[in-house]
Amino acid sequence: MTTAEQPNGLWHRNIKARQSDETSGHVGGHNNVQNEEDLRQWQKHAQKVKEKILEQVHDQLSDLLDKALTESVQPVTQIQKKMPSRSQRMDDGKVFMERPSLLDELFEINHIRTIYHMFIAVLLIFCLSTLAVDYIDQGRLVLEFDLLFFAFGKLGTVTCAWFVMFVYTLLVPYYTLVFWGSLYHSFPSKLGLSLGTGLVLSVVQTCVLGLFPIYVAVHYQLPPASRFIVILEQIRFLMKSYSFMRETAPVIMKNTAKEGESPRFPTFSSYLYFLFCPTLIYRESYPRNTHIRWKYVGITLGMILGCLFYGYFILVRLCVPVFRPETNQPLSKRSMVLAVFNSILPGIMLLLLCFFAFLHCWLNLFGELLCFADRMFYKDWWNSTSFANYYRTWNVVVHDWLYYYGYRDFLWLSNRKFRTAAMLSVFIVSAVVHEYALAIGFGFFYPVMFCLFALFGVMFNFTMNDKRQSPVFNVIMWACLFLGQGVQVCLYCQEWYAQIHCPRTGNSFWELVTPRSWSCSYQR
| Residues designated catalytic | 434
φ/ψ of residue 99, rounded to 5: -160, 145
CA 402 to chain centre: 14
Can you give 367-389 as a three-state secondary structure string? HHHCCECECCCCCCHHHCCCHHH
Please name the residues in contact with 384: beta carbons below 8 A apart, sequence gap of 6 or more: 390, 393, 474, 477
Rounded Cα–Cα distance for residues 468 and 261 (Å): 57
Report the chain's C-alpha Rg in angstroms.
37
Integer angstrom CA distances of residue 394 from 64, 98, 289, 398, 407: 41, 20, 25, 9, 17
Q: Rounded to an integer, what distance in angstroms lies between the CA atom of residue 174 and that of residue 266?
A: 9
CA–CA separation, 46 vs 127, rounded Å? 72
The single-letter DSSP state of residue 518 is G
Separation between Cα atoms, residue 221 and residue 201, nearest integer Å: 29
Cα(193)–Cα(197) distance, integer angstroms: 6
Distance CA 485, CA 319 (A): 13
Nearest to 225 by CA among 342, 330, 307: 307
Torsion 411-415-419-424 (CA) sign: negative
240: closest CA among 209, 200, 273, 282? 282
What is the C-alpha separation between 162 and 376, in angstroms, rounded? Answer: 27
Task: Tell me the C-alpha distance between 420 and 87, whole Å.
Answer: 17
Q: How many residues does the chain have?
A: 524
Assess contact for 454 and 431: CB atoms under 8 A: yes
Residue 54 to residues 46, 49, 59, 155, 350: CA-CA distances in angstroms?
A: 12, 9, 8, 76, 61
Q: Which residues pair with 523 in a beta bridge?
A: 329
CA gap 343, 448 in Å, rounded: 15
List b or e across 411-439, with b for residues whose CB sees 16 or more CB atoms inside 10 angstroms: beeeeeeeeeebbbebbeebbebbbbbbb
| Residues 413 and 502: beta-carbon distance below 8 Å | no
Report whether 165 contacts 213 (CB < 8 A). Answer: yes
